Structure 1
Amino acid sequence: MLKIESVKVSYGAIEAVKGVSLEVRAGEVVTIIGANGAGKSTLLKSIVGLEPVAEGRVLIDGNDSTNVPSHKRVGLGVALSPEGRGVFPDQTVRENLMLGAYSRRNDKAFVARGIEREFARFPRLKERQNQHAGTLSGGEQQMLAIARALMSEPRLLLLDEPSLGLAPLIIKDIFDAIRQLRSSGLTILLVEQMAKQALGVADRAYVLETGCITLEGSGRELLDNPKVKSAYLGTH
């Protein structure tokens, strides 16, 4: 479904992503782990067109989408739940969800169906549907960010640090939601610093360090890898 070929992304003279290649097959959960500043978020932004690719290619369903504008990639079935949630604080929960379906805004039945689907998935959002997003807790905002991304009915969902800044019980809820999405057949590319949880839910995984892929394998293989244990799991 997604193939990245030797992608490089730069900020001026700084090369943040240095020739990364990876793939995500339909129905998989693929995880990218790595330290802060490794280039994980930059890589996701290049996939959805929010950062320009200096070299290499982004292929969606085998088609070169490297230079396709970001809003048109939504139409190709790709959606991003960004790092830091990025909810619109002065808009209500319902309005944030409606913005997630902006590309289909003229199809009122599609939008209404999506809102009810996400309220069923995240009941707390239904309880707070008329509340401004900026007044929600961190966990509720993260649920809203994921639900908003799902409003376009993507086939590939990119999740950027969904556990960031959340309490352990809320992190469990978020990963339970990821498992449910996986069981529905949705393809997911997950960037996450909570390595144990992320690898536990992943079919395959990559380790990104200073803009380069240094390890790849199944989630279980990386969980058992001594280097990963030492660097990311706090064990030797």
Structure 2
Amino acid sequence: MLKLESVKVSYGAIEAVKGVSLEVRKGEVVTIIGANGAGKSTLLKSIVGLEPVKDGKVYIDGKDCTYVAPHKRVGLGVAMSPEGRGVFADQTVRENLMLGAYSRKSDPRAIEEAIEREFKRFPRLKERQHQLSGTLSGGEQQMLAIARALMSEPRLLLLDEPSLGLAPLIIKDIFEAIRQLRHSGLTILLVEQMAKQALGVADRAYVLETGLITLEGSGKQLLNDPKVKAAYLGAH
């Protein structure tokens, strides 16, 4: 579903991603863990086209998408729930969801069905569907960001730090939603600092340090790896 070959991304003279190769197979949950500033968010942005790739290749479902515009990648079945949620604060919950379905605007009935599906997944959003998104709690905004990404009916969902700044009970709800999406067959690439939870839900995982992949393996292998335990699991 996704393959990166020696991808490099730079901000001026600073190389944030230094030649990353990874793959995500259809139906897998793959997680990327790493410290702040490791290049995780930059890597996700390069996959959806929000950061230009300086060198290397991005393949989505076998197609070279290295220089394909972001909106066209949505059409190829890719969607992202960004770090910081990025909800449209002055739009209602329902309007945010409709914006997530812009690529399907020619089919209003399908959009309504998708909205109802997300309300079933996140009942709290249904209760607040006419509320301005800027007035929601952090957890509700995260639910909305994920639901909005799902409105385009992606085949590959990128989740960037979905637990960031949330209370433990809400984090539990978010990871339960990720498990349900996995059972539905959706392919997911998850960037997450809550390493224990992320590795627990992942089929496979990569460790990113200062723009380079330093470890890879199954979620279980990395959970039990002494280096990963020492660096990322001590606080969880």
Partner of 1:30: 30
1:185-228 Cα offsets, whole Å, 9 max, x none, are: 00000000000000000000000000000000000000000000
Counterpart of 1:40 in structure 2: which amino acid?
K
Partner SS, residue 217 of structure 2: strand
Cα shift at 1:61? 1.0
Partner of 1:90: 90
Partner of 1:114: 114
Partner of 1:57: 57
Partner of 1:126: 126
Counterpart of 1:106 in structure 2: which amino acid?
S
Counterpart of 1:64 in structure 2: which amino acid?
D
Gaps of 5+ in 1: none
1:39-85 Cα offsets, whole Å, 9 max, x none, are: 00000000000000000000011110001000000000000000000
TM-score by structure 2 length? 0.99
Counterpart of 1:95 in structure 2: which amino acid?
E
- Identity among equivalent positions (%) equals 85
Cα shift at 1:104? 1.1
Partner of 1:181: 181
Q: State the alpha-carbon separation in 2 of the partners of residues 78 and 109 from structure 1.
A: 22
Alignment of 1:1-236 (within 5 A): 1-234=1-234
Q: State the alpha-carbon separation in 1 of the partners of residues 58 and 114 from structure 2.
A: 28
Counterpart of 1:35 in structure 2: which amino acid?
A
Question: More deviation in 129-138 or 105-114?
Answer: 105-114
Partner SS, residue 172 of structure 2: helix
1:105-144 Cα offsets, whole Å, 9 max, x none, are: 1210121111011001000000000000000000000000
1:16-46 Cα offsets, whole Å, 9 max, x none, are: 0000000000000000000000000000000
- Which runs of 4 or more aligned residues in structure 1 lie more than 6 Å from their structure 2 counterparts after TM superposition? none
Partner SS, residue 143 of structure 2: helix
Partner SS, residue 9 of structure 2: strand
Q: State the alpha-carbon separation in 2 of the partners of residues 189 and 165 from structure 1.
A: 20
Partner SS, residue 193 of structure 1: coil
Q: State the alpha-carbon separation in 1 of the partners of residues 103 and 26 from structure 2.
A: 23
Partner SS, residue 90 of structure 1: coil
The RMSD of aligned alpha carbons is 0.6
Question: More deviation in 90-99 or 107-116?
Answer: 107-116
Q: State the alpha-carbon separation in 2 of the partners of residues 64 and 104 from structure 1.
A: 23
Gaps of 5+ in 2: none
Counterpart of 1:144 in structure 2: which amino acid?
L
Q: State the alpha-carbon separation in 1 of the partners of residues 112 and 171 from structure 2.
A: 28
Partner SS, residue 185 of structure 1: coil
1:122-174 Cα offsets, whole Å, 9 max, x none, are: 00000000000000000000000000000000000000000000000000000
- How many aligned residue pairs are there? 235
Q: State the alpha-carbon separation in 2 of the partners of residues 228 and 81 from structure 1.
A: 26
